[in-house]
């Protein structure tokens, strides 16, 4: 997988360290743990932004007038079954992720790892609108994150609880 990373706010490096390394490790763990079927050379876009950007995108594309932690923009709408070389984009809001992590007693980098998996699953057509969809998606997230944290170079005490 080819991952194009764009950091729109320099403060991302302060709490999160090596963003590129983290994204590659988490995506690799997802592919190893779950059978995600993509053609060789498939591309993924990842944008590290802020609350202002996510607020604007959330309002424009979802009609929701506030920021959020991650937005997923699939290239092909889920369920169309047409293979494509570009999976889509993930866009993250630094301030929201830090706020959520601190309020739930997690390290911001661990929460970000969870949100990378969450967004990636949305790009693959998973959702959590219904209770059964949410159970399925959360189960897959747990499996991927347990695999990631058990093999990650970022190992020190992790708290990846789901909320």
Residue boundaries of the structural domains of the chain: 2-151
pLDDT confidence of residue 154: 47
Which pLDDT score is estimated for 94?
Answer: 97
Mean pLDDT, to the nearest integer, of 69-94?
80
pTM for the predicted model, two decimal places: 0.85
**Between these two residues, 137 and 41, which has the higher pLDDT value?**
137
157: phi then psi, degrees, rounded to nearest 5: -10, 110
Please report which confidence band the pLDDT of residue 54 belongs to, taking 50, 70 and 90 as the band edges.
Answer: very high
Query: Which range scores top for mean pLDDT: 18-27, 70-79, 146-155?
Result: 18-27
Look at residue 38 and tell me whether its pLDDT is greater than 80.
no
- Closest to 149 in 3D by CA, of 57, 64, 22, 38: 22
Locate 65 and state its tokens. Answer: 């007038």
Rounded mean pLDDT of 67-92?
Answer: 80
**Partners of residue 5 on adjacent β-strands:** 46
Q: Decide: 117 and 144 in contact? Cβ < 8 Å.
A: yes
Asked if pLDDT for residue 66 goes beyond 70, the answer is yes
State the burial class of residue 155 (Cβ atoms within 10 Å of its Cβ: 0-12, 13-18, 19+). exposed
CB of 149 closer than 8 Å to CB of 26? no
CATH class of 2-151: alpha beta
Q: Where do we find the tokens 């830090």?
A: 98
Taking Cα atoms as reference points, which of 137, 118, 139 lies closest to residue 129? 137
What's the rounded Cα separation, in Å, for the pair 79 and 90? 19
What does the angle CA 57 – CA 36 – CA 61 come to, to the nearest 5 degrees? 15
């Amino acid at each position: 997988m080819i991952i194009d990373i764009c950091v729109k706010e320099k403060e991302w490096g302060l709490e999160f360290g090596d963003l590129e390394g983290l994204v590659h490790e988490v995506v690799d763990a997802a592919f190893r743990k779950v059978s995600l079927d993509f053609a060789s050379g498939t591309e993924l876009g990842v944008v590290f932004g802020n609350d202002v950007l996510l607020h604007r995108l959330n309002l424009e594309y979802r009609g929701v007038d506030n920021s959020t932690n991650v937005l997923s923009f699939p290239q092909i709408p889920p369920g169309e079954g047409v293979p494509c070389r570009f999976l889509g984009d993930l866009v993250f809001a630094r301030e929201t992720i830090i706020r959520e992590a601190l309020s739930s007693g997690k390290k911001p980098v661990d929460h970000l790892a969870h949100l990378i998996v969450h967004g990636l699953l949305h790009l693959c057509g998973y959702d959590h609108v219904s209770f059964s969809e949410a159970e399925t998606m959360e189960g897959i997230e747990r499996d991927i994150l347990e695999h990631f944290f058990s093999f990650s170079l970022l190992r020190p005490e992790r708290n990846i609880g789901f909320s």
